[in-house]
Structure 1
């Protein structure tokens, strides 16, 4: 049966796909737009769902034949299904870890999930996890502006799109990072959605909008507190730049530098209206870190690494998701 929301187009009016119409094919699959003459054996070999489906008599009207071959109507999106069939006939069509397009990777995730192609599904999820990982180290690499992530050309609204795709396909291991990166969009973009260069609007669901807006407020408050407290954690004994004040009290110069930079960071008028930065990266810290002596910088890096590890472990619960271990187990994948 076709999707009830689609306008029915008679079989005779649908176009034969130019690349997926094989003269020796023994079955015809039909989306709402296209006809594909393909091979039963290949379909069954790639997917247990196809193997079961094609082993049973197909319901339909007597006239649903083309060139004396049975026609099986498929209710998948035409573009998604085309990507899947292209992969069936050439597994080089999609290779995880190499640049592709969001259209292709999302279509393959939807169809591999539906047709129980676990290897392809896991490969696609692992590929998406390059930008939406389940580890703190992976996330810092993904958001590094100098790093090239071989995923797909970035586009406005991609974080929202990945959240929707992960929800739709049950790829929940992608959700914490995708929701966090969505939360780092501006408040207006979270509330209203965004439109890309092709005119496509991307929006979060109402529930995810609420989660991101609430979490954005909570995280910003926590970030300001951490940025201000962090300078006090520098240890005077590790600083080679300390100087003596009246009374002989040793004050680390690095701490003074850090405190000064934090004040400048949060008193900057431009920072008051900016709410699209990634708060996991701590902007004030990045400003004063290079100015420290080696001892203080190493100590600060160690403190930050511990803080980030603790905060990362709380990402799933922040968005009302299961803990990391369960997310990776549920997806049967390590990313």
Structure 2
């Protein structure tokens, strides 16, 4: 491919200069090869690509047969089966790493770093893309509490409607398993059923939609989480338990001072829960909620303790709700 004669080069130059291709503004006059993605051409340097990518390094070092392959301005053309925007984003970062100094990045840039970073073993770019995602997606209960307090405005990525849907698809596509449980959870918590099925308008005329397998997982897991809420050990277990009428039935060992009222409060909460099921493994304990329901001091302390323990258990079990391995076993495949 890379040993074309001058006459052949002239012919292929004419071909690639035709209206069927477009030159990107990433066009270095001293570049040593031309990358083609779709109908877009990029003139770059073997040295730059080889320094950062073992795939391009191996490609460059492999002897090529003396065939009259296509060239542009004397440079061999390497056709890549990638989205031109992904390639453009990666090349811009390679030639201008100061882009990483920005506090926030567009999701499309992060996606490009992850996709092509993994495909061509741009190891530094892969790590950078995953690092930005790790900044955006919580991996602890405290972090998800902070995200909710911040109205789901993530750090590191410029927010747009449907962002969590886009992130979930990227994580699944590239086996970034460490972030998957929380990404799934944020999708089913943040978006309505209609949005899950019909997609979320991003605001630029496009729609963020779940892949069929992700939609199926979200629906099954949402049902599983709701059904687990009131089971022993989880956040809403208190609502199906009777107030302690004898010592030792609550953590404090105290008895309920108003069994009729506290029983009614539990029934009232369950009635509300049945109408509006919540997803509590990652929701913070609400002091206002406890006081609003008017429990006696003993029951109030018991409810707070149950919710706190249930949140911890819910978070520990979160991967399993989405048919994933436990937290300790989740690894990212590069």
Which of 150, 156, 177 is the equivalent residue of 1:172? 177
Question: Structure 1: any 5+ residue segments left out of the alignment?
Answer: 2-9, 239-249
> 1:151: how far off?
2.4
Look up the match of 1:142: 147
2-structure distance, mates of 1:285, 1:309: 15
Structure 2 residue aligned with 1:183: 188
Tell me the distance in 1 between the aligned counterparts of 2:96 and 2:261.
59
Separation in 2, partners of 1:186, 1:215 = 15
TM-score, reference length from structure 2? 0.76
Moved more, 308-317 or 83-92: 308-317
| Among 304, 309, 333, the residue aligned to 1:306 | 309
Counterparts of 1:161 and 1:282 in 2: how far apart (Å)?
Answer: 23
Cα displacement string for residues 224-264 of structure 1 (whole angstroms, at most 9, x for unaligned residues): 564361695865678xxxxxxxxxxx6458x9998777666
- Is 1:87 aligned to 2:93, yes or no? yes
Check whether the contact 2:135–2:156 (CA below 8 A) recurs between aligned residues. Answer: yes
**CA drift at 1:41:** 0.8
The separation in 2 between residues aligned to 1:179 and 1:190, in whole angstroms, is 12
CA–CA distance in 2 between the matches of 1:21 and 1:295?
72
Per the alignment, do residues 50 and 286 of structure 1 end up closer, same or farther by CA in structure 2, a change over 3 Å counting?
farther
In 2, are the aligned partners of 1:262 and 1:284 still within 8 Å (CA)? no
Residue 16 (structure 1) aligns with = 23
Distance 1:286 1:198 in 2: 40
Distance 1:288 1:100 in 2: 37
How far has the Cα of 1:282 moved from its partner?
A: 4.6
* Count of aligned positions: 306
RMSD: 3.6
Query: In 2, distance between residues paired with 1:186 and 1:91?
Result: 39
Structure 2: unaligned runs, 5 residues or longer: 2-14, 244-248
Shift of residue 315, structure 1, vs aligned partner: 1.5
Identify which range, 280-289 or 152-161, moves more after superposition.
280-289
